[in-house]
């Protein structure tokens, strides 16, 4: 849809060159020339990725050496160290996609408009030793893309919190969490001073007073979850929203359009982003905020 970043794409960039040479030196030279002519005098950051397939992954060592060879041919004074800083510096993010059969595609996008700042959209994370599930990695990946992050002293509501991966990540950042879920939390969270477990359905829960952050990872029907999040928005119960919406159905887009509409038109949530993160499965993660 015009003006909206695609929800189900890992990367999106303009192709500035498609190279079919195979000799490493020749590929590096041609890729560097393409980057130089596209970057002009703007700061740049370079990433390399391979398609997320067995054949693509086998090319990882070549891709890594290509990244170094291309970077060595580019002006070091305009280099930005990493993609996160590239966003702040207004830099262009160049991606070299090293594909099978000797094809290398050079893509460019301004870092601020990039769908993901991770190479190829694959945000890799070591599993945190104390996290109970992959859910925690979804949360960390979602927080990566935000201008603000929940921190010390913030009050968070976590709807569909059990067994507690998100709640655990939030308290480890210093936040206080009201964890709403009929199911049990993991033992280390039950007696935690900054965790209040409300063991009831999120559909019947109302906060005593507005919170800073609304998190939601409820395994429930997407349109009903969207209605619930819209209610929180309309009533001004939270300032920031991070929610994972389950989309187990085959035809996801019509549902997603309705979810978007409900959140923005009925809930008044602003700055909505909708993305299937690297750690998401049949689901998307939405973020939004309320204007003060
Ligand atoms: C994917 S799990 C959440 C995982 C959690 N974010 C974590 O990091 O551990 C989905 C949860 O949604 C909860 N859930 C489903 N319906 C709910 C409802 N009406 N109210 C509250 N929680 C609900 C389930 O009990 C389940 O614990």
CB-based contact 75:66 (threshold 8 Å):
no
Looking at the DSSP assignment, which residues form a beta bridge with residue 180? 159, 198
Q: Which of 246, 250, 290, 292 is catalytic?
A: 246
* The pLDDT value given to residue 2: 44
* The pLDDT value given to residue 130: 53
Whether the bond into 163 is cis, omega within 30 of 0? yes
Q: Residue 91 Cα, ligand 1 centroid: separation in angstroms?
A: 39
The structural domains of the chain, ordered by start, are 14-121 (3.30.2300), 135-289 (3.40.50.150)
Region of 226 (left: φ > 0; alpha: ψ -120 to 50; beta: rest) is alpha
Residue 259 Cα distances to 9, 10, 246, 271, angstroms: 18, 21, 11, 14
Which residue's CA is the nearest one to ligand 1's atom 27?
162
* Ligand 1 nearest atom to the CA of residue 163, by list position: 9
Q: How many CB atoms lie within 10 A of CB 208?
A: 6
Residue 254 Cα distances to 183, 220, 260, 266, angstroms: 31, 17, 10, 17
- What φ, ψ does residue 216 adopt, rounded to 5°? -150, 125
Residue from 220, 246, 248 whose mutation best tests the ligand 1 pocket (most atoms within 8 A of CB) = 220
* The pLDDT value given to residue 82: 86
Ligand 1 surroundings by CB, under 6 angstroms = 132-133, 135-136, 159-166, 180-183, 201-203, 217-220
Q: Residue 219 Cα, ligand 1 centroid: separation in angstroms?
A: 5
Residue from 135, 190, 219, 228 whose mutation best tests the ligand 1 pocket (most atoms within 8 A of CB) = 219
Torsion of CA 48, 56, 120, 84, to 10 degrees: -40
Active site residue 176: no
CB-based contact 239:287 (threshold 8 Å):
no
Q: Residue 255 Cα, ligand 1 centroid: separation in angstroms?
A: 20
Low-confidence ranges of the chain (pLDDT < 70): 1-3, 125-133
Please state whether beta strands 238-246 and 211-216 pair in parallel, antiparallel, or not at all (unpaired).
Answer: parallel
* The pLDDT value given to residue 1: 42
* The pLDDT value given to residue 129: 56
Which residue's CA is the nearest one to ligand 1's atom 19?
201
Q: Residue 257 Cα, ligand 1 centroid: separation in angstroms?
A: 23
* The pLDDT value given to residue 97: 96
């Amino acid at each position: 849809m015009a003006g909206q970043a695609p929800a189900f794409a890992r990367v999106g960039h303009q192709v500035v060159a498609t190279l079919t040479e195979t000799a490493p030196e020749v590929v590096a030279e041609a890729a560097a020339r393409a980057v130089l002519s596209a970057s002009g005098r703007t700061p740049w950051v370079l990433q390399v990725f391979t398609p997320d397939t067995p054949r693509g992954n086998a090319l990882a060592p070549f891709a890594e050496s290509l990244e170094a060879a291309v970077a060595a041919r580019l002006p070091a004074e305009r280099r930005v160290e990493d993609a996160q800083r590239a966003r702040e510096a207004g830099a262009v993010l160049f991606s070299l996609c090293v594909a099978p059969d000797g094809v290398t595609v050079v893509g460019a996008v301004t870092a601020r408009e990039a769908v993901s700042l991770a190479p190829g959209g694959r945000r890799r994370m070591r599993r945190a030793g104390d996290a109970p599930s992959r859910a925690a990695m979804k949360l960390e990946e979602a927080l990566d893309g935000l201008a603000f992050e929940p921190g010390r002293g913030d009050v968070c509501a976590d709807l569909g919190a059990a067994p507690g991966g998100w709640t655990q990540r939030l308290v480890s950042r210093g936040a206080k969490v009201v964890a709403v879920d009929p199911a049990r939390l993991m033992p280390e969270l039950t007696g935690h001073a900054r965790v209040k477990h409300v063991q009831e359905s999120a559909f019947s829960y109302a906060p005593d007073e507005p919170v800073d952050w609304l998190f939601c990872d409820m395994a429930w029907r997407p349109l009903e979850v969207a209605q619930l999040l819209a209610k929180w928005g309309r009533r001004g119960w939270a300032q920031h929203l991070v929610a994972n919406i389950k989309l187990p159905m085959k035809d996801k887009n019509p549902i997603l359009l309705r979810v978007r509409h409900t959140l923005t038109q009925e809930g008044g949530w602003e700055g909505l982003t909708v993305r299937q993160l690297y750690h998401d499965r049949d689901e998307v993660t939405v973020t939004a905020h309320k204007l003060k």
